[in-house]
Amino acid sequence: MSNALYSHSGKKNPRRDHLCSQELVRSSPFEPVRHKRLQHRKDESSGERKTIKKINLLNIKEPCVPEWDPSEPEPFYQPTGLEKASMPAGEEKGKVVYSTKYPHFTCSRIGGSRGPIRNATFIGEADSTLQFESRFESGNLLKAVQVGLYEYELTLRPDMYTAKHTQWFYFRVRNMKAGANYCFTIVNLMKSSSLYSVGMRPLLYSERAAKETSVGWRRTGSNIRYFRSCNQVKSSDTVTLHSLTWTVQFPYDSDTCYLAHCYPYTYSHLQRYLRGVASNPAITSYCMLRVLCHSLAGNAVYVLTVTSRGSSVVEDKTKRAVVVTARVHPGETNGSWMMEGFLEFLLGESDDARLLRDTFVFKVVPMLNPDGVIVGNYRCSLAGRDLNRNYKTRLRDSFPTVWHTRNMVERLVNETDVVLYCDFHGHNRKNNIFMYGCNSPGDNALKLQERVFPLMMSKNANNKFSFKSCKFRVQKSKEGTGRITMWRLGVKNSYTMEASFGGSTLGDRKGSHFTTRDLKSIGFYFCDTLLDYCDPDPTKIKYCLAELKVLMRKQVREKLGIDVGSGVTVSDVETSTSGSNSSDSNGLPVHLLKQQQSNVSSFISTLGSTCLIMFISH
């Protein structure tokens, strides 16, 4: 695990004033920020003082997962109809065997505590109870309750400074018996529907299997069911919780195993990858690596500028630009795997990679929310807000990563033609890979242009990418997203690319899960499609536009029962983007909101005292 630290200090950080590429080539930004006491810092936009919790993770080495892909695609789970939906027993009828109510987030350090940390597992040495742990990078198990010999109810920690956004999970177990049917039930999931209802299976990693057979993460589980938790009293004030239950058999006795919602991709993993990039002289000749900004907790947010060096400065400035970002939502690890595949292709030695570098200037931000990734959040940053609803913010100190990203794109738009912006995401309710775009107002011919790139993607990755699932509505509720913000800045081809947490329903991959190789291949196809889209020969684009016109007429006829007329397009009748509801994660950062509420309470209290004094005096 990396020695990168959480650090947020009011003192000036000299490394923030020297964000040149040479610094990263020397790999000094990968050195840990020195451990400091957390201090108050004044928010320049509000004048208020804010405090961020210190965070401490155990010194647990990240699993060394081998480069492994199953020999055959892993099929979806086929429900039998006999899966149980039991009412949670809870602590009253069970035994708490793991709990992190004790505040283990106490120091601003990743890579291990400098002193002892209270053991969160209540277990005797001779006990056969599973030993749980998740106080490592990206882990988020809050509590485990044993309700039967091999049955456990699990509670996930919500995103920090919120009471919501539980979907991602990642934890470790030990002390198991091979062949026993262990039943796990996560009891506090937030989403009303899930891919677990249509065949998705959780992931299992066995250290012993990796060591002895070189097997990495694999799909596992039977008796899988996603259902509404039964012990809730319905009221307008109650958040409806859902449960996921599954049964798993571990392959070895007394192994160390990890269970996860999707293939983990930590901030430490990214740093290792970027070290490899920065230490390769061939790559650094066309890839400049620097720090775009620092997160709330002081973690470096990296940006790569990739382009071949022209014969003159003028030639470099005339190149068009492409902007690609990922991991604004920390639990969407599939976005990082697509990003790694994209970078592997772009930084490679193939003729197509060279052509891309000769043609474009790429600005790449591989991880927008490192704080959320480290602490195991699913959706939010340490501001307790969804960064992908805050691209329009003026609060630079509260939302530094999206503020600086928008600022970077705004400068690019003023300097050159930004051909495309794309933010890589994960999707929890739909299978396949697909895109969300922004339909252009005005001429119907222009409204088809933004659909060309996704249509080309569907042809290049026809057993994974679904054009039918792509949507192009510009919804008011999504105005703060990167996709719509960049579009309003002038980037016509502005997209979110969504990768399912499940798998494919297309072609020869129908009914099978995505692997890390599949996700990385989408990054390759993205590069390939970019070459097709920008081919000087317009034949492919003309072909796609003709196909889109036919497709548009067909879809409008199916939706409305009429032929396409003036002012009627597919965007006018297509459904919403069906993304996650982050309305409760909009607004002021939590620390400013609480300060505001505190000020109101103080005012009311003072007003009440004043009124009482006036009443007595009269």
Contacts of 463 (CB under 8 A, 6+ apart): 504, 506, 507, 508, 509, 510
Considering the domain architecture, whether residues 212 and 234 belong to the same structural domain is answered as yes
Amino acid 123: pLDDT: 56
Distance, in Å, from the CA atom of 245 to the CA atom of 230, rounded to the nearest integer, reads 13
361 vs 242: CA distance, rounded Å: 45
- Dump pLDDT digits (tens) for 63-115: 888 888 999 999 999 999 899 888 888 888 999 999 986 444 444 445 555 55
Per-residue pLDDT, averaged over 36-46, amounts to 37
State the average pLDDT over residues 6-25. Answer: 34
Cα 290 versus chain centre, distance: 22
> Tens digit of pLDDT for each residue in 266-317?
999 999 999 999 999 999 999 999 999 999 999 999 999 999 987 655 667 7
Mean pLDDT of 570-585: 59
| Domain coverage including residue 388 | 267-573
Residue 118 has pLDDT above 90, yes or no: no
Q: pLDDT at position 571, please?
A: 60
Claim to verify: residue 385 and residue 252 sit in the same structural domain = no
Helix (H) or strand (E) holding 483: helix 482-489
- Predicted confidence at residue 86, as pLDDT, reads 83
Q: How confident is the model at residue 349 (pLDDT cuts 50, 70, 90)?
A: very high
Same domain as 549, residue 458: yes
CB contact set of 163 (below 8 Å; sequence gap of 6+): 239
Q: Count the domains in the chain.
A: 2
Q: What is the pLDDT of residue 1?
A: 42
pLDDT for residue 126 is more than 70: no
Q: What is the pLDDT of residues 392-432, one digit of tens each?
A: 998 999 999 999 999 999 999 999 999 999 999 999 999 99
Q: Are residues 291 and 241 in the same domain?
A: no
Dihedral over alpha carbons 181, 186, 192, 193 (to 10 degrees)? -40
Residue with tokens 């002012």: 567
Report d(CA 440, CA 473) in Å as an integer: 10
For the chain, percent of residues with pLDDT exceeding 90: 65
State the CATH number of the domain containing residue 193. 2.60.40.3120
Confirm whether 349 is a catalytic residue: no
Has residue 31 got a pLDDT over 50? no
Domain check: are 322 and 202 in the same one? no
**What is residue 472's three-state secondary structure?**
coil
Candidate list 315, 498, 558, 574, residue with the active-site label:
498
Shared domain check, 370 and 284: yes
One domain, residues 448 and 335: yes
Is 282 in the same domain as 195? Answer: no
> Is there a domain that residue 592 lies in?
no
Average pLDDT over residues 16-44: 36
Q: Residue 213: is its pLDDT beyond 80?
A: yes
- What pLDDT is stored for residue 46 in this prediction? 40
CA atoms of 568 and 447, how far apart (whole Å) = 11
Residue 573 is predicted with a pLDDT of 61
pTM: 0.86
Task: Say whether both 156 and 295 belong to one domain.
Answer: no
pLDDT category, 522, cuts 50, 70, 90?
very high
Residue 373: helix, strand or coil by DSSP? helix
Average pLDDT over residues 319-331: 98
Q: How many CB atoms lie within 10 A of CB 28?
A: 11
Query: What distance in Å separates the CA atoms of residue 239 and residue 441, rounded to the nearest whole number?
Result: 38
Residue indicated by tokens 């992931």: 203
Domain boundary among 223, 239, 260: 260
For residue 447, what pLDDT is reported? 77
Residues 96 and 241 in one domain: yes
The predicted model gives 376-403 an average pLDDT of 94
For residue 33, name the pLDDT band (cuts at 50, 70, 90): very low
Residues β-bridged to residue 500? 427
Last residue of a domain, one of 260, 276, 301: 260
Query: Does residue 19 fall inside a structural domain?
Result: no
Residue 562 lies in a domain: yes
Phi/psi-derived region of residue 214, left when phi > 0, alpha when psi is between -120 and 50, beta in every other case: left
What is the H or E stretch that residue 227 is in?
strand 222-228
Structural Rg of the chain based on CA atoms: 25
